[in-house]
Each structure stands twice: as structure tokens, then as C-alpha cells.
Structure 1
């Protein structure tokens, strides 16, 4: 995203200007199809939004991005540059209220002949910032050396996130305050207390950010992504999405199939309409329990180092004991069961945390309690970090609640989570309470997008580990079925979340080859796992 992205061929600029005029004129005329059935009204609304997205993209292509050195407080040093794009709050009203999205880039390091455009990144969430992505170039990470010669690495804060018209649901310092209620209920009264908190959180979202909530959908973020593509001066999008970023990519590929040039999706959200989002969260609970036990098996293997038990069962018993102790008297006055789950869940997410968490846990059991308490307790002095954490949770909730219609019956939530908890106690209730605001969500809930292959969509590269906790393997298989011509690279017997940023030549070389040449293997590929951590 240098001055190169601001270039405009005269014919292209004129063509864009004409398109804006024609589309805006069409939008002004009332349509008879808006009458009649609900299906007709929905189809008409989608058509208006599609035309509105074209208006916004044409406007962005003409304007480009004014790249500058990043503000000092953003902590994005040179050569990273920052800028803004403007998008409609509501794509059905492209000339109505606008919001600003923050973007950044590190320009490609290769020659002019090597450059292939911009590679846009989304790390997931929903609610995570992608602004750190260009640092992979700035810090000269060897894993991305070949790709960074061909592409400007572009990050952005999606709508509602960080500096992109951020939303909020509660005071950040209140949000991080600890200890919180034990997620695992002992009684009906405990469940009533959690339900009350969830409803109050939903109300807080309406009170603090109600004007944004109806528009905090993945479909709108996909349209924002197309506006960003246009502002960058790229005819087609090159995209890397991880975790929720895979669903954003899948929705983009459905809405704008002919606008995709290269797309890599890593650690895949199941795109089935039946899974978005209630069922997907239940699937997570099962997968987290499996991966937690993978880690505990590894801890037991190194019992001579950690002294937490020489079998997975013994290590799990230590976890149960630790949790019970924290419930009786929170460690340091701040680390109860909820905070322990928040800290320990990093191990099922990423095996890069395995040594760190096991070491702190081992020290705690041996009598040195401070490292574990410090790692698991909130830092109330970190005002900026706490603000980011609250904002991230607000966006997560807003997007998942707006994307789909959630069950409103408490009996269903209670029945499903009680059943799952019996065999998968680690995350089930904690996950339920996190999502329960969607049961009383005060804003419109939409129907999920039917992810499918559209005309002009090129091969999409899918990367997935078989034992991923946050996005179970079945999600990658489902997306692979839906996107014709896609290729699935499976990292077998591994479970880290986000594998394209890990050293595994079998995977890394194929990602490079695809991004640099567009070529994929003639069939799906299974890779051996990346190296397992050692203490």
C-alpha cells in the first residue's frame, strides 16, 4: 500500500465514476419486488447491499489510501505505514452514514517485476486486530521472506475493532475485574446468576454501541474487505485468513467470487449454516477437551521435569485439585476457576504455550505460587490492554449474535450444555456463558450466509491440523466440499491453531508456491506434524 496503490488508469477512474452515478440512480428508484413475501424482501435487501458495495468500492478505488508513518502511540515502527478507508455503516445506504477503518502495510521487498499486489490478512476473533501482520516483513521473519518479496503485507482493524470505529459493551476495567463467578454451576441459583450477567451484558452492548449492532455482521465485514481491495488499487484480492478469518474469507468468496485472486484459509470455522454459531461453539467444547488431554499426555511424558503426574489421568487429577483449591479461596485474591480456565485454555489453543504453562503450574505445586498467579490474574494497571480486551469481546459477541438467529429457550441451552459438560467439563460452561448474551440480543439477528462456489472463483488453499480445538477439523472438510477446486492440506496428529505461521516445510513450501504461482497440488496433501515442544 504505497503510492503504487494510489495509481489509477484514466479509463478505470472514469469507468468507476460512471458506475457510481448509475448505481446510485438505480438505488433511488422504488422497487415493486420489495413488496410481497419475506423471501422477496430479503432478496431485494441483498440486492441493494450488493449494489451499495459496488458504489463504495468504486469510490474507494478513486480515492485510494493516503499512506503515512503510523502514529507513535500505535507502536508500528517504520517501514510500516498506516492509513484509513471509509465504508458505509449500512451497505443498503451507501451514501448514508460512513465509518472509518484503520489499515496498515509493509511494502513488498522484491523488485517491481516481482510484485504481485497486496496480501490482506485477518487473524480471527471475531474481534482480533490484523494490524500486526506487516511486522512479519518489518521483522524479516524467514518464514515469510519469499512471499513478502511479491506482496505488500496489509493488515486492518475490522469494523468495530481497535481504531476502526470501536464498539464497547461494558467499562473495560469492570470487564477484567477478578475473580469472576465459577463458570461451572453448582445449583440453579448459580445458573440464574450467570443468566442475569449475560442479559446485563447484552443490554450494555445496546446502551454503549446500539447504533452499530445491526451492522456488525460477517457479510458487512466481507463488503468492507472488498472496499479495502479497491482502495489498495488491486483488481482482485489476495487474502490470508486464520480462524474466524477463514469464515470471513469464505463469505467474501461467496459474495465476490470473481474478485478473488489467491486465498489461503487456515484453521477453518465450519461454514455450514446449521453450525453458525450456536452449534459451532458446542463442537469447540468437545475439541478443547480432546486437545487439553493431548497436552496433559505430553506433560506426563516429561514428569521428570514437571512432577505433575506420569499419566494423563494423574495430570488431569492435579488440574481438578487446582481448580477446587481456587474455588475455595482465589489465589492472590484474583485467580479463581474462571481465571484458571482463561489461562490454561491457551495450551489447547497453541502448543507454543505448553512449556510455559506446565512450568508455572509445576512451580505452583512446588510452592512458588507467584508465576502462575501473575500469568493468570488480570493486570488492572494495563488500561490500554484492558480496553483492547473488552473491545475484542464486544466485537466477538456482536458479530456472532448478529450473524445468526440463536436459541432463546434457556431450557435448550441448559439441556445441551449439561449433557456436554458430563464428558467435556473443561470449557463447556465457560463457553456457554460467554455466548449466552446472544439469547437475549437486543438487535436484529440475520440468517447465516450460504457459503458456496460462485462463478470465477479460483482454487482456494485450505490448511488445517486434525486436532485443532478452536476450529475442529470437520470445518475444513466442510469448506473443502463447498469450494470446488479447493485443496486441503492436513497437518496430521497436530493441534495448534493457526498453522501457516509455524515451521513445517511440507506446509510452508506449498503456501509459498500457491501465493507466488497460484499452483496447487493435483490432490489433497497430508503433512506430518510440526515439531512437538520440548521442555
Structure 2
């Protein structure tokens, strides 16, 4: 969507605004009377005009400042979607939902997932309008686009080098990652300094005002927990209820502890590799116990995995898919398949593919040709724009090369994923890197509910506990399952606990846990 321009501030004010926008002043200004960020309060409340947009949903567009230091300057558009409360007479207010990523469309995800009972039960949907939005940089909102056309984008990502499985693949991967950062600067450089989550938290407060809620009710999933933590510290007295589901180590993600912000990439600081390894161990254990219900269960599953991984390291493996087509997997592709553990309902299919790969792995495959999926949205560009703006990372390629070796030794097979996952951030324009630097522990007007799976490949439980320790008032509920957040790990128990908190403010007991509705390899 286009930028919209309003009259500029006076010259002196504009100079100060630009200084803040370029990182020359602190990310937050003086606080308001209730201790909140003053920049959001100075911005005008957007007017929302809701219109039906199929299947019971309503859609609207909000205009918010590109630069909050210049609240009446250039405006950007945020696309919103709402599923109105089904019991208006007993409606409490609006539940804002951020599905994480960052990068995927919140508008599309709410349309797809609003009626998932294990995520938003009938009782919850009766009491709240569910509202999600595409954050700045994303899809239907004012978006970061690093290519001139969709065709150019699809062709570019289709030939992007895969994650290097050894040192030989690193130069090409480094070059491509830098090229992506350069393209984003060329195509969207005017947006990049303002696409960070500090500004998204300010956007949320404007949206809260726009729907008429005195305080925020918020459900953040995955990266949405990072945004929620920033909001809680910028607007600590405006919290009615705030759920974090699949939670991060917030300081670890933003700037790292100690000197980690300049020595370790974000996923390594979060020990995502360790989370994947723990969850993969759970995958193998449950697969072995499931017997015929898991296609990979024959024999010693640990030995089979080690054999498959080593064979893939030696040469690509070609398999015949159930539909008769053929697919070729490099070592990196096999590791990514094994580490794709966020959705437990997909574990059976993953196990079947691993079994096909194992059976075919003794046959020398032809060289892997470049391949990739077409990207219809801008989620990759938005991911980089937001994540790279939100976090400090090392900028020396040699740091990544050394870490790839040491992390592979520490976490076999999966260590490199945490090292290389955000490689373009090493080359991101310096003026666009503006992480929230704290504080993280401001007392909030209501306690925060944190939910995390026991084995989460994306937001490990250890990181969630670190994040809780950084917050002033938070309570942990552990879901005794494997996978990423209750969006994918179905737990009626967890939904009931979340519902009681969101509706009545009742937290689960200290040390509470919840079971899951079904194990990944149970019969359908």
C-alpha cells in the first residue's frame, strides 16, 4: 500500500524527529503520566472503518506514522481483520493476536485459524472480537519489497543457495545473503529504519485506542511474544491481559547478554539448535514407541538417522514421492526436513519421507540442481526487515564460519541452522538496526501468562524461562508436548487455562502443566 504524506513538523522538531528515527536519540522518549512511551501518545488515533470481507470477517485499514518522532508526517497503512464476538451482549473487548514469524500475514492467518478450537474456543470467541493485522513491512500493509516484480522475486529465491552443509558452500551463501540485503536497501531503503518492533508496539497502542479499549488484551505467538514484551515495557500500565505462547529470551534476541550481540547470531543466542535437537530426540523416541504408526520406526531409529545423515553428507539422495514424482535431497535438505518439527500433525509425513530417504540413501544420486518454492508474498523480505532491525548480530563472516564448526560439534546435525538462519542480518544497513534495548522488567498492571511446550524446536523452554526471568510479573504454564506453541501443539487444557486468564484474569497455579490432546503418532 502507498505511503501517505501529511504536513511536516516545524524545522527544529523535524530535525529532532529525524535524529530519533535514525537512532541518534533513544528508542523511547520521556514517559507519559502513566509511565508509557510518549511518542505513541503524541500520534493521532487512526479511524477504523470496518467492512464485511467474507465468512463473517470484517476488514479495515489504519493509518499510522512511518516515524513516531514525526507523528503528523508520512503515514503508512496497516491492514486489519476482525472476527466479531459471537455474544455481543457479553463482549469484553478486543483480543489482539500476533501469530509471529516475523513476516507472514496476520490477516491471512486469522482468517485461516480463528475457528481452531484448541487455539480459540467457542467460549473465547463469544467474549472477544478477534483482531489481527499485518505488521508494518508485511504483505497487505505497507510492505518491504526487495524486488520489482513477483516474477523477479520467485526467480531470485528459487536459485538462492541452500544453507551450507560445510565450509565449501559458505562463500556462495555469504554472497547471496549480502546481495539480498543490498537489494532490500536499494528497493526499500526509505522504509527499513522504521520497520522494527518498537514501532509495531506503538502501532498496537494506536490500534487499542482505535477500537476503544482502555487497556490491551493481547495474545502473542512465537515472535509475537517479543513484540508483546516490548509493548509491556513501553506501556506497562495499559495491560489488561497478555498471553505469550512459544516464548523467547527477549534480551537474548534483541542485544544478547554480555557481548553476545556482537559475537553470536540470534538463533545461536536463543539456542534454537538445542531446541531442535531436543525435539528431534522426542520425535525419534515417540516414533520408536509408535511402531507401525511411524514409518521410520523399523530397527534402531537413532542408528538409522545417523546412517541417513552421513550418507546424505556424502552425496545427494533422490527419492520417488507417493505421487510418482522424484525429489533430490542434499545433506542440508535432509537436515532441514528432520528439523521441521513445529507441527506435530506433520510428523507422520516427515517420518515417511525420512524412511523413503533412508531406503534410497544407498543409491548414489545425481548432483542436486538448484530448487526452491515460489514465494507469493513478501514474508522473506519482511522477516529480514523486522528481525534484522530488531537484533544486533556479528558482522564478520569469519565469526559465522568458526561458529558453524563449533556449533556442529556442540549440537550435531542442527548446529548450523542457528548460525546461518539470519545471515542477511550481518549485512543489513546499519541505520536500520534499532533493537529495543530495555528495560524488560517494568512492573505491569496485570501479570503475564507464558505458555511453552516442553520440547519446542523454535522457542526452547530454556529460552522461555529466561524470558520470564526478565519480566516483572509472569507465570509459566508448560504443555507436556513436542512442537511449536499451542497453535500447533493441541491442548484443550492449555486453551482452558488461557481462556480463564483472558476472560477473568485467573492464572494457573505455580508449576502447572497441561497434557496434549493427541500424540503425533497416535492413529487418526
**TM-score, normalization: structure 2?**
0.82
Asked if 2 retains the 8 angstrom alpha-carbon contact of 1:143 and 1:501, the reply is no
- In the alignment, what sits opposite 2:399? 412
User: Structure 1 residue 515 and structure 2 residue 496: aligned?
Assistant: no
SS in 2 for 1:487: strand
Quick one: which of 312, 327, 338 aligns to 2:316? 327
SS in 1 for 2:507: coil
In 2, Cα distance between equivalents of 1:29 and 1:328? 59
The structure where helix makes up a greater share of residues is 1
SS in 1 for 2:399: helix
Cα drift, residue 51 of structure 1: 3.2
- In the alignment, what sits opposite 2:445? 457
SS in 2 for 1:466: strand
Quick one: which of 353, 358, 361 aligns to 2:354? 361
Cα drift, residue 44 of structure 1: 8.3
Cα drift, residue 179 of structure 1: 8.1
Asked if 1 retains the 8 angstrom alpha-carbon contact of 2:196 and 2:435, the reply is no
SS in 2 for 1:105: strand
SS in 2 for 1:449: coil
Asked if 1 retains the 8 angstrom alpha-carbon contact of 2:482 and 2:489, the reply is no
**More moved, 93-102 vs 335-344:** 335-344
Counterparts of residues 151-230 of structure 1 (less than 5 Å): 151-170=128-147, 171-177=152-158, 180-181=161-162, 183-187=164-168, 190-230=169-209
User: Structure 1 residue 116 and structure 2 residue 122: aligned?
Assistant: no
1:164-192 Cα shifts (integer Å, max 9, x gaps): 111123532124415844521243xx322
- In the alignment, what sits opposite 2:303? 314
SS in 2 for 1:46: coil
Cα drift, residue 450 of structure 1: 1.5
**TM-score, normalization: structure 1?**
0.80
Asked if 2 retains the 8 angstrom alpha-carbon contact of 1:338 and 1:430, the reply is no
- In the alignment, what sits opposite 1:129? 105
Asked if 1 retains the 8 angstrom alpha-carbon contact of 2:57 and 2:81, the reply is yes
In 2, Cα distance between equivalents of 1:515 and 1:183? 44
In 2, Cα distance between equivalents of 1:478 and 1:430? 21
Structure 2: runs of 5 or more not aligned: 1-8, 321-325, 364-369
- In the alignment, what sits opposite 2:29? 46
In 1, Cα distance between equivalents of 2:27 and 2:351? 55
In 2, Cα distance between equivalents of 1:310 and 1:412? 40
Cα drift, residue 99 of structure 1: 0.5
User: Structure 1 residue 488 and structure 2 residue 476: aligned?
Assistant: yes
Quick one: which of 481, 488, 493 aligns to 1:506? 493
Asked if 1 retains the 8 angstrom alpha-carbon contact of 2:161 and 2:173, the reply is no
**More moved, 278-287 vs 160-169:** 278-287
Q: Is the alpha carbon distance of 1:45 and 1:141 closer, same or farther for their aligned partners in structure 2, counting shifts above 3 Å?
A: closer
- In the alignment, what sits opposite 1:291? 279
- In the alignment, what sits opposite 2:45? 59
Asked if 2 retains the 8 angstrom alpha-carbon contact of 1:300 and 1:308, the reply is yes
Cα drift, residue 217 of structure 1: 0.9
User: Structure 1 residue 96 and structure 2 residue 96: aligned?
Assistant: no
Cα drift, residue 46 of structure 1: 3.2
Asked if 2 retains the 8 angstrom alpha-carbon contact of 1:243 and 1:266, the reply is yes
In 1, Cα distance between equivalents of 2:216 and 2:498? 16
**More moved, 173-182 vs 323-332:** 323-332
In 1, Cα distance between equivalents of 2:318 and 2:346? 26
- In the alignment, what sits opposite 1:74? none
In 2, Cα distance between equivalents of 1:142 and 1:406? 34
Asked if 1 retains the 8 angstrom alpha-carbon contact of 2:146 and 2:188, the reply is yes
1:488-511 Cα shifts (integer Å, max 9, x gaps): 11124x221112664434322211
**More moved, 501-510 vs 92-101:** 501-510
In 2, Cα distance between equivalents of 1:25 and 1:519? 49
Quick one: which of 84, 95, 100 aligns to 1:107? 84
